[in-house]
Amino acid sequence: MTPWVRWLITANVVMFLLTMVMPDLMKPLELIPALVLQRPWTLVTYAFLHAGFAHILFNMLTLFFFGPQLEARIGGTNFIRLYLFSALSGAVASFVTPFAAIVGASGAIFGVMLGFARYWPRATILIWGIVPVQARIMVIIMTVLSLFGGMGIGQAGIAHFAHLGGFAGGWLYLKWMERRRFVMAVAPREPRRSFGGGVAAATIERWKRIPLDALHPANREEVGRVLTKLEQHGPASLTADERETLNRFSAG
C-alpha cells in the first residue's frame, strides 16, 4: 500500500470510530451547502465522515484497490491533490441540494476511480467480484447511474451530485497536471550535455537503471514500454508524460 492511500484509509477509519463513540461529532463536520459560509471547513471534513459500516467499507475498498497504482503512477503529491480537489468539487456540486446533509469520501473516491481509468482504461474490473468490465466502461456506468440518481431515479439517500463532482474534479485536476508537465517539458531545466531531445546524458543513464523487477506489474509494463521506446527511437520521441514517468520511477 502506498503512503497516502495508507494515511487516508487510516484517517477515515479513525474518524468513523470517533463518530461511532461520539455521534455529536458528526453534526459540526458534515456538509450542508446552505450553511457553508458559517462552516467553511465542512467543504473538506465531510469527506472524512461516513454514515455507516457499508458506506465506509465500499469507499475504503475502492481506495485500496485503485489508489496505490494511481499514486505510484502520478506521485504522492499529485495523488493527494487530486483526492482533495475531487472531494472539494464533490462538495461544490452538492450545492444543487443546498439543505441536504452530505457525508462520505465518495466524491474523492470517484476522482481516484477516474484517474485510474484515465491511465488504465482497458483494465478489467470485477464488479461485486463477479461481473468483468473495463475501467473506462465502469466510469461511464457510474456517471450514468449518478445522473439518473440526481434526477430522482434510483436509490435515495445517496449524494449523486457529489459523485459527479468528484468525477469532474478528478478530470480537471489531471488535465491541469498534464498541461503543467507539458509546459515544463518544453522548457527543460538541464543545460548539461545531452543525447538529443533536451535530455541530459546523466538523466538517460538514470532512467536505464530503473529496477523493473521491483515495480508493480502494471507499472513495470508501462515503464518497460517507455524504455523500449527510448532505446529504439531516442529521447526526443518521448512525450512529457513518458519523461515524467521515467523521472518518478528513477528518483532516489
Query: Quick one: CA torsion of 92, 93, 95, 101, rounded to 10 degrees?
Result: -90
Verify whether residue 216 is a known catalytic residue. Answer: no
Q: Catalytic site residue 163?
A: yes
62 neighbors 15 (Cβ within 8 angstroms): no
Q: Which residue has the cell 462538495?
A: 91
Find the catalytic residue in 86, 89, 94, 106: 106
Query: Could you give the angle at which helices 53-74 and 106-119 cross, rounded to 10 degrees?
Result: 40
Rounded-to-integer distance, Cα 137 and Cα 94, Å:
24
Distance between CA atoms of 180 and 191, rounded to whole angstroms? 20
Q: Taking the mean position of all CA atoms in its chain, how far away is CA 28?
A: 27
- Which cell numbers in the block locate residue 235? 529521447
Active-site residue (options: 89, 146, 160, 163) = 163
Q: Burial-class residue 209 by CB neighbours within 10 Å (0-12, 13-18, 19+).
A: exposed
The two beta strands, 124-127 and 131-134, are: antiparallel
Q: How far apart are CA 97 and CA 228, in angstroms?
A: 51
Residues taking part in catalysis? 106, 163
